Structure 1
Amino acid sequence: MANVTLNLVAINGQGQLHTYPNKEYEEKNPVDHWANLVFDEITTISNGHHVRLGAGYDTFNFTNIDNVNNVIVGRIEDFDASRDEIRIEGELLDFNNLPSYVRIVEYNGDHNDPGADPQQWILIDTGDGKIFYSLEGARVDMNGDGASQEGDQEAHFIHEGNIPNFSTLKDVKYTDPINFVPDGYTPDGGIVYNDEYNFDLITHDAKAADVLEVIAGSTSGDLIAAGLNDDTVEAKGGHDHVWGGSGHDTVFGQGGADTLEGNLGDDRLVGNVGNDLLLGGNGHDTLIGGDGNDVLVAGNGHDIIEGSAGNDKLYFGNRSHDAGGWGENIARGGTGADQFIFEGVSGWTRVEDFENGIDKFRFTDPNIDSMSDLTITRYADENKVIINFNDGVIRVDIENVNAIDASDFLFN
């Protein structure tokens, strides 16, 4: 049950309706909101809600959608899929089973920074109009020529001339960018840090200088969500958990058994010392384990995975990590007895430093349970071995192509 109910009425035209939480993230005083995103009669291209509800368990409820007879654009700044929900006329939206009149699409708004990935938007067809709301916050413009906040940020809405042709937008399955520390986590003696933008006493990532500043953890076990933009995080000591969120992030662990997640964007994750877990997520990521017995998981995209020192496990396919795992990957185990593990659909992987008699290939897909499920082709003149299986291909760079035999493989 919500502590506070808000009725937020968007009107016709280019006005803007903003809501702000009262320092809930900083003061750790969350309030649960039920926000009715109400629509007056919308007959011209209009700006709607730019809403932030804070750190509680919040509901964003689109209401009176039949009043929308043109295009209305808005933004849900701090939707957190681990806590919050979206409803339409009171009905809970299931991202895995969308109604026929709802799409999740990719669009980059008016953001003009080179290399920026599109955000996810909800597109609701009202019959005679469209409700088009971003499911993430407005990003910092690193060149200072953005359309909002005196050039510091991208346009919070969309200029009328940039309204897209909705039929051409790419439909996507909603992926939680994890821009906020998710529900259910407790720090191990350290801090909880959300690098979100507020209009209150504490502001993170409001302008380019904020993005360039390194997010530094404590010497204990922290929970850090880098959020929007291209951030750099140094987790330091303790058993930390870091979520890169949206953007192309660089995340460093340090001492301790850290969990580093790239989430969306083309990320670089470096575990350094300790037995770390590195999860690439979506995007073209680089994962480097460092010292310790690390677990590195390639996600969707063309990834570079390097275990470095220690007995590492390098995963491709991600059947158990909900990331899809398809891509063209480069893998290096480094020193130690490493395992290159393939789960389900794996794409194409090039293993550059397989150590015969030390490292292993392992297949966990129940449909691949013996050597008879593999096709191995050896190219002595090119110092490579090609291993084909189901929807995956492994290229192994090795001088003695005949050295690879059944002893190098594990199943299930």
Structure 2
Amino acid sequence: MRKTWLIFSQAVTVSVAVLFVVATLKPDWLRGGNHTGMLPNIVSIIEAAPTAEGSASGVQRVLSYSSAAKRATPAVVSITASKAPARNPHENDPWFRFFFGEEGQNRQQQPQVGLGSGVIVSAEGYLLTNNHVIEGADDIEVQLPDRRQVRAEVVGTDPETDVAVLKIKLDKLPVIAFGSADTLEVGDVVLAIGNPFGVGQTVTSGIVSALGRNQLGINTFENFIQTDAAINPGNSGGALVDPNGNLLGINTAIYSRSGGSLGIGFAIPVSTARQVMEGLIKDGQVTRGWIGVEPRDLTPEIAETFNLPIQQGVLITGVLQNGPASAGGVRPGDVVTKVGDKPVVNVSQLLTAVAALKPQDKTVIGVQRGEKALELKVTVAQRPKVSAKRE
């Protein structure tokens, strides 16, 4: 009995020793083949879902946006806008022909040609593009991705937002679906589709870099989507779409010192483009409110000079005589702080708030006049068709 107990004690001692050595040198042997580590048992984490291939590396495979491209690209067209040359007043002058010959005369008669893009938004043949793409053009040619070509007529233009509406007459037109730019967030993936440099339809990808960009000096009314998706000359008027191929904006401009893409592009939100389009189709113009003032941003230096108790607002430097603002009691030197119930802190916000009002609407303009805060009632008029800075 004593011998048996001795053998048992030695066996237990050896087993404990072996277990200690294994736990110290080869701890993975004691984990039942689970090589994912003990971290989930120590701290609560969220593990990424396995990839479609079941890869154990944990690296997510690159997504493809081919379905979005296939859905959106058929509705994005190339636009060629040509302008007839100005008639040379000396073309019949024999002395002009003597010195410059027929070659000099022919050079004067070459038409100006511009390239851009557009988006088919209606089965009736309506297209959205930029005003600067077709401005001053005598002939506008539209080419679809399926190689069909047709001349387009101008339904209307709005230089203050740089939106133009064209119409073509073709059967079985592909139409893009409208998305919602209001739900966009910085970091969302977007695709830019157009015809850069006239090389042919091109799709580039990027993200939303910023929202509500304004005061860029591009248009009168600015509320741009900024993206780093490559936008180049020829992309103007093309589509900015989401990963489902839905239209989010109309590509309009880039910031560049070289003329090529530097990753700073701007698109007009589809909500703005749609509002302008509906106004142009229905009334032939975009109806906006107007009060007749000359505004500028209030700076801290100006606020200190006038001893104003506020630091933000829009300084009124001029008031149109007998205009809506003048009739309502607005004076030069007043600082507008709100329009209706909307606060305004810069010129862009003032322009947008007043433009959203309908002609003959009565609104309350909040102003700071010296140390007094006033509320003035103004009857809004219709904004004149001029591309001036006057509001």
TM range (shorter): under 0.3
More helix by share: 2
More strand by share: 1
Which is greater in Rg?
Answer: 2
Point out which structure has higher relative CO (alpha carbons under 8 A, 6+ apart): 2
Normalising by structure 1, we get a TM-score of: 0.25
Normalising by structure 2, we get a TM-score of: 0.26
